[in-house]
């Protein structure tokens, strides 16, 4: 199960099980979305161009569930930069990732030098 289901499970428990069927349907849908996102990140060598809709639709994921980015080690395994320190950048520059075509699986550059604007990365 994805990270996103955990929050709703906690909310359901906190409410004493009220709306259980609705919570189950929501968790099922979120699992489907999470599986789709994982599949999308795995396709075309992890190119973000193929996943542009994920970054447009799930902007809040990168702000709230920062640790999720660290779980995609199969896609980001060769990157040298630390995504954990860029919650602000993911929130502010989401539009950059919708148009960015670099394959992060083969990225070796340190993106910490691009804290102002990811669009300045040219390799």
Identify the band that residue 32 occupies on the pLDDT scale cut at 50, 70 and 90.
low
Higher pLDDT, 16 or 31: 31
User: Is the predicted pLDDT of residue 24 greater than 60, yes or no?
Assistant: yes
User: Is the predicted pLDDT of residue 65 greater than 50, yes or no?
Assistant: no
In DSSP terms, 113 is beta-bridged to none
- Per domain, the residue ranges of the chain are 3-120
User: Is the predicted pLDDT of residue 28 greater than 70, yes or no?
Assistant: yes
Percentage above 90 pLDDT, the chain: 0
Q: Which of 18-22, 37-41, 106-110 has the lowest mean pLDDT?
A: 106-110
User: Is the predicted pLDDT of residue 23 greater than 70, yes or no?
Assistant: no
In DSSP terms, 47 is beta-bridged to 103
| CA nearest to 96, candidates 105, 81, 106, 86 | 86
- Alpha-carbon distance of 58 to 55, in angstroms, equals 6
């Amino acid at each position: 199960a994805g990270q996103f289901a955990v929050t709703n499970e906690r909310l359901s428990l906190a409410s004493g099980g009220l709306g259980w069927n609705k919570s189950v349907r929501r968790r099922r849908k979120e699992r489907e979305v999470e599986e789709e996102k994982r599949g999308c990140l795995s396709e075309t060598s992890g190119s973000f161009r193929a996943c542009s809709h994920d970054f447009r639709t799930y902007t809040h994921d990168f702000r709230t569930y920062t640790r999720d980015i660290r779980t995609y080690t199969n896609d980001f395994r060769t990157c040298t930069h630390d995504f954990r320190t860029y919650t602000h950048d993911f929130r502010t520059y989401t539009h950059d990732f919708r148009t960015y075509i670099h394959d992060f699986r083969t990225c070796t550059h340190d993106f910490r030098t691009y804290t102002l604007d990811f669009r300045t990365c040219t390799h």
